[in-house]
Structure 1
């Protein structure tokens, strides 16, 4: 009996120690929004978990961090986000992170030359004029919106080239933090770049027949994708989806729909404004949905190319009349 007790005394701590090594680490790559998580998941696959802060159905434009989010950010191996002009909710928490655990995509050297300016001065003045009604009715002033979005369009995950550069930067950060995983990280980056190149060719071919077809999107989230694939947007209903477009803007859009300049009007899953139905009523324009955040896609190593392919199919389906 004494012999058994001695064995138990020896084996139990050893078992406990083994179990502790088997437990998953609390640290992970934390991405601000799902499409950024898609890119991170491709590089971190088999190395460290990836988590996304923004829940499905929420908007990056007005999200507020929960205490559990703040804890996840603090414990993260690496936090990946676009930058304060897009995810204002992350600015304070990210500023407290050491530089090697904080990756701001808009700050990557190779990304800066690729940035597309936001709305032009004429449209800015036009929207500012329209916003006077909103201010009187107690809605958010459009100046807040411009402060939020800044000089450039920050929907950077819509650009395949910026996504590739983001993947390279994530690889570099994780390699610095986890040099023992170099072989796997290198293989993941190589696979991501190869799959992205193949998907890019396929999307180019899919969208080529509809390049000259005009359409309106709900908000200006798609400029990088549209520019990359040579599409022909006629405009957007609003810059910030939290702010309803004014009567003058809606009248301009409706005029173009009646004159059959647009083939499609696109809504979004998290924003289904009645204004789209109202403005297109009585016209032949088709209605489609574009998902700028990949809400139905799970985080896997190939989720970013699935996201791009899904977006391409959403464009092609409506513009082709399928």
Structure 2
């Protein structure tokens, strides 16, 4: 009797091991992207992530193990040079034979321009979003063409303050007037990318194409259900104004019909200068803002310095830096963001 049970188990383990051995080597830039790819590859293989947890993706020095993962990759999934401008050169140098897929340029993506001003006056209506970049040639998703001529990596934040004394060592800042690269925070984008990820993996690994397609379809349905859940969760606090640490959340705001009143800094690379702080205080008082969010990688004392004890403080993290990598990372990151927003805004309302 034991042999009858052990033989199928042994065969299943052998087949799984064979699938893992033959799976494409995949590298991803940030943990949320790694999570989406890991969900599609579940049962076949596990992708590597280049930017370690808690680090800023905008300027980053790879460790030897991360460079090795990139060099060994057959496929690279990354947001694009708007988020990780240093990675394009690394892909060309270390992974020239790999197929690189730039998600921000993928057809069907919702892409929003950067907001400007203390209260995001320029794009408050989200009226300039781009669905799919029909004017760009991204059909082959190769890393050879990274267009984005509108991104010059010039200093976007504090253009009027000229306060660069607090540059945290990040060599690049968001491009002034370019596309906001934080597009993973819209789950509709993630749903579209899941299908693209499955397609790209299937082309490189047709033997596991059915697994990739099934995983992607299931994950898309899971994200749709999660989106409805979060919409209902945030509905009671939809009209309560709040401030964020830096302007990374407009995709989340657009997806769930909420709106930040402004950001302490337009970038995570440069701290606000005196002129911006004064304008923020004036705007927050005028609009009745009583909830301000910081991020785990930045000192919350900055929020206290700007607003004192008169506001509720919350923490949201657009990268889920406190979460374990893997298939569950992305949905848990969205849940945590929604929960933190409700807790802070509800306490302030």
TM-score by shorter chain over 0.5: yes
2:36 equivalent in structure 1: 39
Q: Deviations over 1:116-170 (max 9, x none)?
A: 1113488799931211x43xx59589995244x7611100110111111111111
- In the other structure, the counterpart of 1:69 is 66
TM, length-normalised to structure 2? 0.77
Cα offsets for 1:214-257 (capped at 9, x unmatched):
01100111110001111121111112212110111111222234
Query: Per-residue displacement from partner, 1:286-316 (whole Å, max 9, x unpaired)?
Result: 0000011112222333332222111111111
Q: Do the aligned partners of residues 144 and 75 (structure 1) sit closer, same or farther apart at CA in structure 2, a change above 3 Å counting?
A: closer
- Partners of 1:274 and 1:235 lie apart in 2 by 18
Counterpart pick for 1:49 among 46, 49, 62: 46
Separation in 2, partners of 1:206, 1:104: 32
> In the aligned structure 2, how far is the partner of 1:31 from the partner of 1:139?
26
Q: Give the match for residue 95 of structure 1.
A: 92
User: Could you tell me the TM-score, scaled by structure 1's length?
Assistant: 0.83
For residues 50 and 144 of structure 1, do their structure 2 counterparts lie closer, same or farther at Cα, with a shift above 3 Å needed?
A: closer
Q: How has the CA–CA distance of structure 1 residues 268 and 200 changed in structure 2, closer, same or farther, with 3 Å as cutoff? A: same
**1:178 paired residue among 187, 205, 211:** 205
Cα distance, 1:25 vs structure 2: 7.0
Judged with a 3 Å threshold, the aligned counterparts in structure 2 of structure 1 residues 26 and 202 are, in CA distance, closer, same or farther, namely closer
The answer to whether residue 329 in structure 2 is matched with residue 303 in structure 1 is: yes
Match of 1:109?
107
Q: Equivalent residue for 1:11?
A: none
Larger Rg: 1 or 2?
Answer: 1
Q: Which residue does the alignment assign to 2:57?
A: 60
Bigger Cα displacement from structure 2, 44-53 vs 96-105: 96-105
Quick check: 2:231–2:256 contact (8 Å CA) kept in 1?
yes
| Equivalent residues of 2:161, 2:273 under 8 A apart | yes
Q: After the TM superposition, which of the residue ranges 221-230 and 260-269 deviates more from structure 2?
A: 260-269
Q: Is the Cα contact below 8 Å between 2:161 and 2:275 reproduced in 1?
A: yes
Q: 2:158 aligns with which of 127, 130, 150?
A: 127
**Aligned mates of 1:48, 1:95 — CA distance in 2:** 24
Q: Is the CA contact (8 Å cut-off) linking 1:60 and 1:87 kept in structure 2? A: yes
Could you say what secondary structure the match of 1:232 adopts? coil
2:268 matches 1:241: yes
SS at match of 2:184: helix
| CA RMSD, Structure 1 to Structure 2 (Å) | 2.9
- Which stretch of structure 1 is more off in the superposition, 238-247 or 298-307? 298-307
Identify the residue that residue 279 of structure 1 maps to in structure 2: 306
Q: 1:145 and 2:173 equivalent?
A: yes
Q: Give the paired residue count.
A: 296
**What's 1:14 paired with?**
none
Distance 1:80 1:186 in 2: 17
List gaps (5 residues or longer) in structure 1.
Answer: 1-19
Give, in angstroms, the shift of residue 271 of structure 1.
1.1
Looking at secondary structure, tell me which structure has more helix per residue.
1
Q: Do the aligned residues in 2 keep the contact of 1:127 with 1:142 (CA within 8 Å)?
A: no
Q: CA deviation at 1:89?
A: 2.4
Tell me whether 48-57 or 166-175 shows the greater mean CA deviation: 48-57
- In the alignment, the residues of structure 2 paired with residue 175 and residue 75 of structure 1 have an alpha-carbon distance, to the nearest angstrom, of 19
